[in-house]
Amino acid sequence: MIDFFWLMFESLVTIFQAFIIVWFTTGFLESKYENPMRSLAFWITDLVLTAAILIANAFTVFEGPAILIYCIILFVYALLFLQGTILKKLFASIAPIAGIALVSSCVTTFTSALLQMPLADILNQKNLYRVVMVVLIQTLFFYILFLLRNISKKRNVDISRQEWVLIALVLVVSMLIFLFLNCIALYSNLSEQGTIWILLSDLGLIVINIITFFLIIKLGKAHTLNLENSLLKQQQIFQKQSVQGIKTQYEELRKIQHDFNQHLCVIQILNKEHKPDAIHKYISEYFDSREQTVNFIDTDNDFVNAIVNSKLEHAKELGIKISVTATKTLASINNIDLCNLIANLFDNAIEACQKCSGNKQIIAGILSESQNINIVIKNSIEASVLAVNPNLQTSKADHTTHGYGTKIIRNIVEKYHGFIDYYEEDGMFCCSVNLYTT
């Protein structure tokens, strides 16, 4: 009877532990899908992980290598159903397993030192001490994961690939050291002093991993500040471009008005001289000359007009043919966000066109329907970009200052619950962005 109740107790603990682990990984990364797919993936992963832990516990006193299987289960779940980069998914798969391993090691080693009993005897006992120890482990484990998940939600963690690699390595090395220490404690006849040293080593591992986590937060905050500084600089540029754009449009209108009066005088004279062929030729030449001038867009958003028209002028100076269409009324989106998005999309297209030796062309459309905005920008390319660089990583040497354009675009798209699509067609690189105001 005691064996039966103990089996039920350990099974309930395992079910709780597996649920908390999957709950943390899902919350840290966020699901790709809505219900019911999100719930189905969560519960299937929870059941698979629970089964793996139960099987490992049934055949071993110390799980050891089975920890790797738990990490693989979580990583496969993260790859298929959760958002984030590969390295972030790797971290979210290893972190909770490393957490329960370190907490278990510290509590069991502390209990061994306190009761002056070998670790193997404690793990094999079925008494009140073992119950208290197991409950304490699960309580501490839940509290730690709860704190980590809440902190990660409250702060924007946006760090580079190299930094994620270093953080993942810290976790992996910590788990390996944990395995070695527990093998020593489990299979060696340690003295009381030796048990204390093992306990101190486990505590040191926990401290290292806590420092690592807060390092993630600090790095994420630093990257966010850099991004915000970049946005502020762009905001200042937009304000200057807005003033310059209005000034340029005003001067262009004055020039058109002056030239138009001159053209009317010429047509009037030709009409008086009864020269219709000359009038037709003159008008045709006039339209041909107008095609070489910049066509300004005119929407109900002065900020968008300023930024797009400034990009039109810039493209013309670089010898890039550019065509832009835009609906008159645009959905209500924060002006700074919208201008940041449009500016970075145009800058990317202009920069790509500059690399072309032949035809340099940009075709853009800014369309708005109801509560959404669709921006499509196409630019000439000489060879496939996605085939060589599918993740669109910056090719510039200084990765710390470059590559923010793509990050700004991604952050704005996420802010408005939209989506972005990159594709290629007819020898052009295409970027389509959808934003939703509701």
- Helices 37-59 and 66-81: crossing angle in degrees, nearest 10, is 170
Instruction: Give the per-residue pLDDT at 403.
Output: 47
Confirm whether 255 is domain-assigned.
no
Confirm whether 89 is domain-assigned.
yes
* CA 233 – CA 323 distance, rounded (Å): 27
Confirm whether 257 is domain-assigned.
no
Same domain as 192, residue 60: yes
Reading the chain (438 residues) residue by residue, the pLDDT tens digits are 666 777 788 888 889 889 999 999 988 887 888 778 888 999 999 999 999 888 887 776 555 677 888 889 999 999 998 887 787 788 888 888 877 777 777 777 666 666 666 656 666 666 666 777 778 778 877 877 777 676 666 555 555 666 667 766 776 777 677 667 666 765 666 666 776 776 677 677 777 767 776 776 677 667 667 766 766 676 666 556 555 655 665 566 666 666 777 777 877 887 787 878 887 877 777 766 654 444 567 788 877 887 888 788 788 888 888 888 888 888 777 777 888 888 889 988 998 898 888 788 999 999 888 778 899 999 998 888 888 776 665 554 444 333 456 777 888 888 888 888 888 888 889 999 988 876
Confirm whether 280 is domain-assigned.
no
Same domain as 408, residue 310: yes
Phi, psi of 228 (to 5 degrees): -65, -40
CATH of the domain at 374: 3.30.565.10
Confirm whether 260 is domain-assigned.
no
Question: pTM, whole model, 2 decimals?
Answer: 0.47
Report CA 261 to chain centroid distance, whole Å. Answer: 55
Instruction: Give the per-residue pLDDT at 120.
Output: 60
Confirm whether 408 is domain-assigned.
yes
Give me the number of domains the chain comprises.
2
Instruction: Give the per-residue pLDDT at 436.
Output: 84
Instruction: Give the per-residue pLDDT at 22.
Output: 92
Same domain as 305, residue 218: no
DSSP 140: H
Same domain as 74, residue 208: yes
Same domain as 198, residue 310: no
Same domain as 309, residue 221: no
Same domain as 200, residue 330: no
Confirm whether 18 is domain-assigned.
yes
End-of-domain residue from the set 189, 208, 229: 229
Residue 212 belongs to what domain range? 2-229
End-of-domain residue from the set 214, 229, 244: 229
End-of-domain residue from the set 210, 229, 248: 229
Same domain as 304, residue 225: no
Same domain as 301, residue 223: no
Same domain as 368, residue 222: no
Confirm whether 7 is domain-assigned.
yes
- Helices 66-81 and 2-29: crossing angle in degrees, nearest 10, is 40
Same domain as 136, residue 9: yes
Same domain as 137, residue 41: yes
